[in-house]
Amino acid sequence: MARKVDDLGRIVLPVETRRLFGIHPGDALEIGVAEGAITLRKMEKACVFCDGDVEVREFKGKLVCGDCVRELGPQPEPTESAEFAEFAESAASAASADDDSATS
């Protein structure tokens, strides 16, 4: 099957090909060269840092590959803010005071 390149360098992928590979408007395609041929590959998942597609997993709504996760290293556990800690302590004290007044 042959397609012509337009003035802007675009080609239209045949609908049969798009259906076969599950390509939809807005999908990213990787364009490469292999053994003298132009290749297209649908990017299912890609790392936000390096565009890698190996061991990709979601972290806080973003896709990150295994190599970048290892490079970033272990992340510290999130800590509570001082404001939240004060709120939690006062809520616990108030609950304790309510329990004491209910039993007397």
pLDDT digits (tens, 9 = 90+) for 24-73: 898 888 899 999 999 998 877 788 889 888 888 887 777 888 888 888 87
Q: Is the pLDDT of residue 100 over 80?
A: no
Both 35 and 72 in a single domain? no
pTM above 0.75, yes or no: no
In a domain, 101, yes or no: no
Pairwise CA distance, residues 24 & 19, whole Å: 8
Which pLDDT band holds residue 19 (cuts at 50, 70, 90)?
very high
Both 91 and 57 in a single domain? yes
Residues in a beta bridge with 24: none
In a domain, 103, yes or no: no
Q: Cβ of 42: how many Cβ atoms within 10 Å?
A: 13
SS3 31: strand
Pairwise CA distance, residues 88 & 93, whole Å: 9
Question: What integer best gives the mean pLDDT of the chain?
Answer: 81
At 61 the pLDDT is 75
Q: Which amino acid is at 15?
A: V
At 16 the pLDDT is 95
SS3 58: strand
Pairwise CA distance, residues 13 & 16, whole Å: 8
- Mean pLDDT value of segment 95-99: 60
